[in-house]
Amino acid sequence: MSEVIYIDGKLFPTAEAKINVLDHCVLYGDGVFEGIRVYGGRVFRLAEHVQRLYESAEGIWLKLPISQEEMCKIVTQTCEANKITDGYVRLIVTRGVGALGLDPRKCKEPSVICITGSIELYPEEFYQNGLGIITSKVPRTHPKSLNPLIKSCNYLNNILAKIEAIQAGVPEAIMLNHQGYVSECSGDNIFIIKDGVLKTPHPSAGILNGITRAEIIKLAQAEGIAVQEPELTPEDIYNADECFLTGTAAEVVPVIKVDERRIGNGKPGPITMKLLTAFHELVKQ
């Protein structure tokens, strides 16, 4: 965990880093955030993450108090202050402190928070041997209710799916959208390979447009692998030759079983492992 945490222009020792209980992010989950990785002392795709943060803020009518360039500096300076060379950054913008009630006009000024630390979402054995997941009964939030492209601080929809996975004894769960098509997992994007073609749900399926997802698509295309973004059903997942998940924390992790159904030959597939290796090479550059 951070030795110091950035809050609104100042660095505080972790034990002294506090926010007001009347912040509307605490009261109502009113805020946006980004999870970002640091590799070899370099913040990976920082500009893209900050751009998405601002797009999320725009989506909830939250005017950020600083420029994107200044936000990038906050991240790099917080990493430097904590001597982070390989780790994780949580960048948060809250609606700010205000009186009780949903009206965001009661909040005078947003708060910017930057936390750094280490993260290990999955044990190393999962990257070598693959993992099993389930399909959640919890549907992805309807895009007309809250656009899934907005990375908001209200993650209850995802948390409920995660709880279902935990209860099933697996680390992750696929979420279907309101039409019954595959959207994403509770915290990761999902890919399959069928007949040599890489397939992943289109953003319109109700996914968060993942930064790692975008990098994997580029890496696949560079390898000459065809990429499609079709509507995928659970049956498409069951009948895939390979399956894997991507995310900032997860990176690229193979899936060998879904709802107790074996995927392919029950082992991480060759295209999955090629892309995993290519991603590891990319983050070293």
Helix, strand or coil, per DSSP, at residue 15: helix
Largest CA distance in the chain: 57
Among this protein's residues, is 151 annotated catalytic? Answer: yes
**CA torsion sign, 210 to 211 to 214 to 215?**
negative
| Two tokens, residue 170 | 């697996």
Instruction: Report the Cα–Cα distance between both ends of the chain, in Å, rounded.
Output: 25
Helix, strand or coil, per DSSP, at residue 229: coil
Instruction: Collect all residues with Cβ–Cβ distance below 8 Å to 208 and sequence separation of at least 6.
Output: 148, 149, 151, 184, 189
* Active-site residue, from 106, 151, 218, 267: 151
| Two tokens, residue 202 | 């289109």
CA 225 vs CA 212, 248, 253, 263: distances in Å: 17, 22, 18, 20
Give the C-alpha separation, 189 to 183, whole Å: 8
Catalytic residue positions, numbered: 151
